[in-house]
Amino acid sequence: MKLNVRTGLLVVCGLLLALTCSAWAQDPGSKHAHRLVLHGTSPSDDWFVYFPLVIASGESPQVAGCAVFPADNVWNSPVDTLPVHANSDAYVAAIGADAHVHADFGSGTWEGGPIGIPYVDVPGSQPKVAVTFEYDDESDPGPYPIPPDAPIEGGPDSDGDRHVLVLDRDHCILYEMFYAFPQPGGSWEAGSGAIFDLSSHALRPPGWTSADAAGLPILPGLARYDEVAAGEIQHALRFTSNSTRRAYVWPARHFAPYHEEPNSPPMGQRFRLRAGFDISGFSPEVQVILQALKTYGMILADNGSSWFISGAPDERWDNDVLHELHQVQGSDFEAVDVSSLIVDPNSGQVRRNQ
């Protein structure tokens, strides 16, 4: 087909199998772009349209060969077409409409520890060790398959959250701990701990915490470099707020009120980047993150600095590029009403065809 395209950019939608696509001009050097050539009357008139594929694949995200929950799990469900929550403006104002987004992950170290929440995958044969918990009435008892050199959030000398995340890659079982300290002889002490079968939709018992204040798993909500490099994040992200109230909404199971105000959001509240927010001027890697925030959104999972998005540390992150997220403000987000997705309030499964 020959088209004489001399002015403007032709965006073509309605491609094969009636899939919906979005297209925009992008840096021709981006490895995340797909190229469509529109031929003019001469080679100098040819136009090249670069567009990233942002259509949900229907497959679960993968970590170390494990599907991170079924494809129809709440973490893996797009929310871009769901209605805006009735309290959206109030929630955004309580978190901070003028506050900036921050990537709480990156390369290198900060105060002696990796930047982000690290995790490690181990074989099914990894020896399990004893773990004792301060909040043992809401923690899954050990033993846990924690290797002696398991990475700790913030580093071994940190006095922060000290999360430890371990994935049994042969059985696809996730073990997570909060405020974890190794002990002589190989055992561990921690504030709380939770075990998640990644093939299951099961949620924590109502009112139970996890390694997170919302009673949710942490690993499924982390931004990981490999998915950004592949060009698409296919799940919701995890974020923190400086103001939360004494309540939780599905899929969260626990609250931990912090700087509570009348309009503070509950734990588990889903937010998304507004559809009209222009992401075309950002670096390709940041566009992937921003597109995920439009399509899958993010879940309020813990107390902390407002609009801090969680991710796994990786030496391949470019911290200067990630700092572009600082251009995004709280007012660029809206709370989402996910009630239509619920199949069972005690399950993370979602209704299809939303």
pLDDT at 27: 34
User: Which residue numbers in the chain have pLDDT < 50?
Assistant: 1-57, 354
pLDDT at 24: 31
CA-nearest of 64, 35, 16, 13 to 312 is 64
Q: Is the distance from CB of 202 to CB of 217 less than 8 angstroms?
A: no
pLDDT at 4: 36
pLDDT at 294: 98
pLDDT at 227: 98
CA-nearest of 333, 250, 351 to 290 is 333
CA-nearest of 181, 177, 175, 179 to 145 is 175
pLDDT at 352: 82
pLDDT at 22: 35
E strand intervals along 107-191: 109-110, 113-114, 120-122, 131-133, 164-168, 173-178, 181-182, 188-190
Which contacts qualify for 26-30: CB closer than 8 Å, 24 or more apart?
26/50, 26/51, 26/52, 26/280, 26/284, 26/287, 27/284, 30/284
The span from the CA of 267 to the CA of 251, in Å, is: 9
The tens digit of pLDDT for each residue in 105-138 reads 999 999 889 999 999 999 999 999 999 999 999 9
The span from the CA of 278 to the CA of 296, in Å, is: 17
pLDDT at 353: 65
The span from the CA of 137 to the CA of 131, in Å, is: 14
Token pair 């100098």 in the structure block, residue: 44
Token pair 């001399």 in the structure block, residue: 6
pTM of the model: 0.84
CA-nearest of 350, 353, 258 to 300 is 258
Q: Is the distance from CB of 37 to CB of 48 less than 8 angstroms?
A: yes
Task: Please classify residue 223 by burial: count the beta carbons closer than 10 Å to its beta carbon, then call 0-12 exposed, 13-18 middle and 19+ buried.
Answer: buried
Q: What's the one-letter identity of residue 151?
A: P
CA distances from 330 to 60, 75, 102, 273, 333 (A): 29, 21, 11, 9, 6
pLDDT at 59: 87
Residue 118 makes CB contacts below 8 A (sequence gap 6+) with: 151, 152, 153, 165, 312, 313
Cβ atoms within 10 Å, residue 349: 20
